[in-house]
Amino acid sequence: MPTLLIADDSMFQRFQAAKTAAEAGFEVLEAKNGEECLTQARAHHPDVVLLDLNMPDPAGLTVMDILAKELPGIRIMVLTADIQETTRQRCLALGAVGFLNKPVDQQALGEALRALL
Amino acid sequence: MPLSPLQLDILQELINIGVGRAAGMLNQMVNTHIQLQVPVLRVLTPPQLEELYASRMDTVFSAVQLSFTGEFAGISALIFPPESASKLVSVILGRDEIPGQDNQLRSSTLQEVGNIVLNGVMGSIANILKEPLRYSPPDFVEDDIATIVGSVTGMILVARTQFSMRDHLIEGEVLILFSLSSFDSLLAAIDNLAGE
């Protein structure tokens, strides 16, 4: 079963995404900040990381940078409330395989995650 | 007022667009029409800002604050009276509440709603002005208005929009406080947009 690591400081977002991911056939791991995300990614090598950007310790873009160096094959789907075009461009330049804005339709999220497999 | 009529007009329109975008996002989350009032812009001192809320100074509000920095800086806040906050959580979570974690999930839900809405407002403005913003992680607070707006000093540009969801009897407001220390940068960006 593929593994999805959900990294978001919002319990509400983790709750919603975990439900969607489980229905899409993923085993789900969760992280509530950047440090937990890195710890989980290093320990479990998830197939996909669903990554929030505006979270603490460290923020999502720093996490992306670190993961790109340490785990270059890891696929990162960004899910963020930040609608700035510059943010989207930066994430894609850092290698994100997808960029979704919140609020996300859960069906669309499930389809986007399944499409990565 | 340190803004020209044209600058004020453009800023008003930027906030209109930003709030409109945010209302669309809120509409998606609650599946109901969001009624917006026209945003009001004013330059105020902190005491004058408190005066706006004088009749509700002892009220505890549920609020999400999102601080932003970049070429211009300030704080944006999404503010709900307590009954509206509870109703909003019920609408969004529906039957998906986790028993035993109600308080945590409640505050997390409100925080995320605020995060999305305020990003919608500020991100729209940033996109149009082509001036990227950086955000601090959103903060959820339940406190009086003086605490929510924080210990601002000096003059502040206040943009205030009230909204309601009639179907659910939910009301709230978006408040944006622009730091006047970054005012020149904000006006320069607006002037660029106006082609001056």
Domain A3-115 carries which CATH code? Answer: 3.40.50.2300
CA pair distance B103, B98, nearest whole angstrom: 10
**And the tokens for B103?**
């308080």
Mutate to test the interface with B, among A33, A83, A90, A104 (most CBs of B within 10 A): A83
Burial class (CB in 10 A: 0-12, 13-18, 19+), A12: buried
Q: Looking at residue B95, what is its pLDDT?
A: 52
Q: Answer whether B112 sits within 8 Å of A10, measured CB to CB.
A: yes
What would the pLDDT profile of A59-94 be if each residue is shown by its tens digit?
899 999 999 999 988 999 999 888 888 889 999 998
Average pLDDT score, chain B: 84
**8-state DSSP, B58:** T
For residue A9, which residues of chain B lie inside 8 Å, CB to CB? 137
CB atoms inside a 10 Å sphere around CB A77: 20
What would the pLDDT profile of B37-75 be if each residue is shown by its tens digit?
888 888 888 788 888 887 777 789 999 999 999 988 889
Residue A14 clears pLDDT 70, i.e. is over it: yes
Does residue B126 sit at the A interface (CB-CB below 8 Å)?
Answer: yes
**8-state DSSP, B60:** -
Those of residues 13-52 in B touching chain A at CB distance below 8 A are: 21, 25, 28-29
Q: Chain B: nearest CA to A3, how far in angstroms?
A: 23
Option in B116, B127, B135 nearest A102 (CB)? B116
Q: Looking at residue B151, what is its pLDDT?
A: 66
B2 band by pLDDT with thresholds 50, 70 and 90:
low
Q: Chain A: nearest CA to B55, how far in angstroms?
A: 33
SS (HEC) of chain A: CCEEEEECCCHHHHHHHHHHHHHCCCEEEEECCHHHHHHHHHHHCCCEEEECCCCCCCCHHHHHHHHHHHCCCCEEEEEECCCCHHHHHHHHHCCCCEEEECCCCHHHHHHHHHHCC
Q: Answer whether B127 sits within 8 Å of A9, measured CB to CB.
A: no
φ, ψ dihedrals at B155, nearest 5°: -75, 150
For residue B115, which residues of chain A lie inside 8 Å, CB to CB? 10, 54, 81, 102
Q: Looking at residue B103, what is its pLDDT?
A: 82
Of all residues in chain B, the one with the smallest CA distance to A59 is: B137
For residue B119, which residues of chain A lie inside 8 Å, CB to CB? 54, 80-83, 102
CA pair distance A58, A34, nearest whole angstrom: 5
Ramachandran class of B106: left when φ > 0, alpha when ψ lies in -120 to 50, beta otherwise: alpha
Given strand A98-101, what is the order of strands in its sheet? A27-31, A3-7, A48-51, A75-80, A98-101
CB atoms inside a 10 Å sphere around CB B153: 11
Q: Looking at residue A21, what is its pLDDT?
A: 94
What would the pLDDT profile of B96-137 be if each residue is shown by its tens digit?
454 445 788 889 999 999 999 999 999 998 998 889 999 999
CB distance A99 to A82 below 8 Å? no
For residue A20, which residues of chain B lie inside 8 Å, CB to CB? none
Task: Count how many pairs of residues, chain A against chain B, have C-beta atoms within 8 Å.
Answer: 63
Q: Looking at residue B98, what is its pLDDT?
A: 45
Q: Answer whether A9 sits within 8 Å of B133, measured CB to CB.
A: no
CB distance B170 to B91 below 8 Å? yes
User: What is the reported pTM?
Assistant: 0.83
Those of residues 10-39 in A touching chain B at CB distance below 8 A are: 10-13, 15, 19
Please calculate the CA angle B143-B148-B149 and round it to the nearest 5 degrees: 155
φ, ψ dihedrals at A61, nearest 5°: -65, -35
What would the pLDDT profile of B128-160 be if each residue is shown by its tens digit?
888 999 999 999 999 988 888 776 666 778 888
CB distance A40 to A46 below 8 Å? yes
Does residue A87 sit at the B interface (CB-CB below 8 Å)?
Answer: yes
> What's the average model confidence in pLDDT over B77-87?
89
**8-state DSSP, B99:** T
Asked if the peptide bond before residue A58 counts as cis, ω within 30 degrees of 0, the response is yes
B83 band by pLDDT with thresholds 50, 70 and 90:
confident
CB distance B196 to B61 below 8 Å? no
Domains in chain B, start-ordered, CATH in brackets? 5-194 (3.40.1550.10)
Higher pLDDT, B17 or A78: A78
> What's the average model confidence in pLDDT over B183-196?
81
What would the pLDDT profile of A22-66 be if each residue is shown by its tens digit?
999 999 999 999 999 999 999 999 999 999 998 888 889 999 999
The residues that bridge with B140 in the sheet, in sequence order, are B64
